[in-house]
A and B are shown apart, each in its own frame.
Chain A
Amino acid sequence: MNGIAHAWAALTGTPAVFAAFAGVAWGMLGGALPGISPSIAMALLLPFTYGLDPITAVVLLGAVYVGAEYGGSIPAILIRTPGTNSAAATVLDGYAMHLQGRGGEALGLSLISGVIGGLAGLLLLIVLTDPLARVALLFTPAAYFALGVLGISVIASLSSGSIVKGLIAGVVGLMIATVGTDPLSGVNRFTFGRAELLGGIEFILVMIGVFALTEIFTQSGLPDWDKSRARDTHIKLPSWAMLKRLRLALGLGIGIGTFEGVMPGAGGTIASFMSYNEARRWSKHPEEFGKGSPEGIAAPEAANNVVAGTALVPTLAFGIPGSNSTAILLGALMIHGLEPGPLLLSRNPDVVYGLFGGLLVANLAQLVIGILIMTPAIWLVNRPKPYLLAAIYVLVFSGIYTIDHSLFDLGIVLAAGVLGYLMRWFGFPFLPLVLGLVLGYMIEANYRRALVISNGSHSVFLQDPVSALLLGLAAIFILGSAFRGFRDARRRGAARRESAA
């Protein structure tokens, strides 16, 4: 009951409703642009949240995440180019429907499935966050340290590619977090005499550099995406009979999206493809898949919108973001002086329930904005890519300058962009780096507090039961992933030798 009161107070006492609508609109436009993922759309807005109250800021960013998931399906359906990774499965049947002159119907299916999935995800988020946050009382400094280590280990082991590279990215993130004045002893670390580095490197600079600038550098070398000729496409919402037909596909999307969302690192892309496959397996009309099946749109769109809600469960309950987008939301919470994790719900229930209320509005706002935004979204997708890249470049620089009015910060963002480009080139995942950076202070402060309490004895991390459990889980994740990598490499080697023979 208190939660509802908090949510109501947030929606009526702050501009959260306006933020939800604005965020959905921005997210849809950003998601509609190929190459602009939900996380990039969120990162571009992050500097502008500094001046907002915490509730409005997190609602704005959460709404961007919600809107971008639908926005990604617009170019997927109209130009066979998914605007976001998680919309890739929608291409299969969405574009086929568009070729049959049913593009408006496909967009309507995507929108309604997204709204249903989003509401289901929100409900699960509310139900799951509260009980998980009750374990807060069990957490000591040693346990918090172990939680941070577990977070980086899980993300590193679930990232695509080598676990070693994932862990290296996480450690580099922790290293960047050590720059600046040590808050516990007051001595300067790695500042090289630069006053600008005394306060450390703000993670927002690295996030925007790694996500947005890396994409700008990469996109500059890629050909322009196709343009839509469907300027007069209008959304056609599905009938009640159609929704009844989609029950199973929607249910599968919601179920798989729930599971994938709460698993850090899995994300909407895997959920949407798994849902697509399962919907085809269980469909009464499997032969229609790939040729314009409504289930082929409903299942993946419901799944990736459920993930947008359930991915917030580990972020809010444990302070471990499972995706790039939730890492940015986590960053936004920390920018406003909030500490995500087990204590967030008890210390700042207004923000958490305000976010829930805002996400409810955002999901419902999709219905209105989704219909209104079609023409501007198609117009935007049809703009020449060179103009869009140039405008985003200016937006990044201007947004960053807004934060501290510092030219030095612009240099840091450019450096982070170069780092992100090199990481992408050499196959290092971004998320462990960002997570290391965001959790760096929490990990180090609790590591040192725990050692002070134990008089320097590292056995405290194994004597504390929660810490021992979490470190054990971290070890299982790392060893399990290393074993899987070893086994896969052996299989690939054997397959290569066989094909050579």
Chain B
Amino acid sequence: MSRDFYVGLVILAGAALYWTAAGRIPISFLDGVVTASTMPRTLALVLGMLALALMGQSVAARLRNSPAAPAEDGERPTWRQHGRALGMLAIGIGFLAALPVLGYALSVGLLLAVAAFFNGRQRPLPLLAFGLLGAILFYALFVLVLRVPMPGGVWPELPG
């Protein structure tokens, strides 16, 4: 079976889950002929039908010995590219975890340095300078100029 068939299968499972979750939406006294779950249930049904259509399209294309859709229908990144994307995602998650603990300035400096390192800049001094200058610049822009109350981290509590 082609890739689209399995994608359709996953979407079908998603539609079934959504349908189940939609069934648990409580009914309000304000509801009339149409309740808060009417639209979600309709969407689940439509998504299920579209998933079946995608799977059918994939099977029909297989029988005809033709690609399901033209070449531009989806990119084919290499596993190395997926690895890079996953790495960037992990760096982002790390930033989210670090932000409330380390505070904005330090987290941003680390994010800049780690992301640049991960993408191929490996000389320590330029990386350090980039992280430091970037952190100062972003801190100045968001905290000092735009006055956004960015997370301070544990530092303000330490002296107390």
What residues of chain A have their CB less than 8 Å away from a CB belonging to chain B?
A: 48, 160-162, 164-165, 167-168, 171-172, 174-175, 178, 182, 184-190, 213, 216-218, 220-222, 224, 384-387, 389-391, 393-395, 397-398, 401-402, 405, 407, 410-411, 414, 417-418, 421, 424-428, 444, 447-448, 451-452, 455-456, 485, 488-490, 492-493, 496-497
Contact = CB atoms under 8 A, between A and B. Distances in A.
B64 to A, nearest CB: 4
A259 B34 CA distance: 41
A172 to B, nearest CB: 7
B87 A387 contact: no
Given A171-B47, A456-B34, A414 B39 contact: no
A386 B77 CA distance: 19
Contact of B112 (A182, A394, A426, A444): A394
B12 to A, nearest CB: 11
A221 B84 contact: yes
Contact of A162 (B33, B36, B73, B121): B73
Interface string B67-93: 111101111011011111101110111
A402 B146 contact: yes
Among B43, B88, B148, which residue has the most Cβ atoms of chain A within 10 A?
A: B88
Contact of B18 (A160, A175, A213, A421): A175
B28 A405 contact: no
B89 A217 contact: yes
B21 A447 contact: no
Given A182-B36, A190-B21, A410-B96, A398 B142 contact: yes
A319 B32 CA distance: 28
Contacts of B66: 489-490, 492-493, 496
CB-based closest 5 A-B pairs: A427-B74, A493-B66, A221-B81, A386-B119, A456-B33
B16 interface: no
Nearest to B81: A221
A403 B117 CA distance: 29
Contact of B50 (A168, A421, A426, A456): A168
A397 B81 CA distance: 23
B39 A178 contact: yes
Given A165-B54, A496-B66, A386 B115 contact: yes
B85 A489 contact: no
Interface residues of B, number: 83
A350 B54 CA distance: 45
Interface string B84-113: 110111011101100110000000100111
B153 interface: no
B142 to A, nearest CB: 5
27 contacts: A168-B50, A171-B43, A171-B47, A182-B36, A187-B27, A189-B22, A190-B21, A216-B88, A217-B84, A218-B85, A220-B87, A221-B78, A221-B83, A386-B117, A387-B116, A389-B115, A389-B116, A393-B88, A394-B134, A398-B141, A401-B148, A410-B99, A414-B93, A417-B89, A426-B4, A447-B39, A497-B65
